[in-house]
Amino acid sequence: MTYDPDNIFAKILRGELPCHKIYEDTDTFVFLDIMPRATGHMLVSPKTPCRNVLDASAEQLAACIMTTQKMAQLAMTAFAADGITLQQFNERPGGQEVFHLHFHILPRHAGVSLRPPGQMADQAQLKEHAEMLRALLAK
């Protein structure tokens, strides 16, 4: 399998598509999922091309995991979460839908199930969540 430079995340990284950006550093980019399965559902992705964990370099994986930990800690605080679910899918049979490596961070609350997949969120609410998360990061 080859990397498609026109996948939706590559377009977001190039600024061709909008997103609710939370954080970026030299190697990673974090934004809110527009079809969140939980309030505060974030995606962590390397800025450089790779299809998934199967072709990622050790450097891409290390950068993503460090950012994932930082964002998971932020989500726990920001959303008063009881826990975090991390997800990462590889190839279509493994559940991958966008073929650019990414990690899902889902803040979880006791007794609250994940929402069904494929439901678009209210953009105003996503904007509000992104602003709140960025403000917490700035402290």
Beta strands in 4-126 (DSSP E): 21-24, 28-32, 42-46, 83-87, 103-108
What is the CATH number that goes with domain 8-111+118-138? 3.30.428.10
Q: What is the residue extent of each domain of the chain?
A: 8-111+118-138
pLDDT digit string, tens, across residues 101-137: 999 999 999 999 999 999 999 999 999 999 999 999 9
Residue entry with tokens 């990690």: 103
For residue 1, pLDDT beyond 90: no
Instruction: Give the side-chain half-sphere CA count within 13 A for 76.
Output: 11
CB count within 10 Å of CB 66 equals: 14
Read off the tokens for 16: 């061709």
Candidates 41, 100, 102, 129; catalytic one: 102
Q: pTM for the complete prediction? A: 0.96
pLDDT digit string, tens, across residues 41-81: 999 999 999 999 999 999 999 999 999 999 999 999 999 99
For residue 8, pLDDT beyond 90: yes
Annotated catalytic residue 100: no
pLDDT digit string, tens, across residues 80-95: 999 999 999 999 999 9
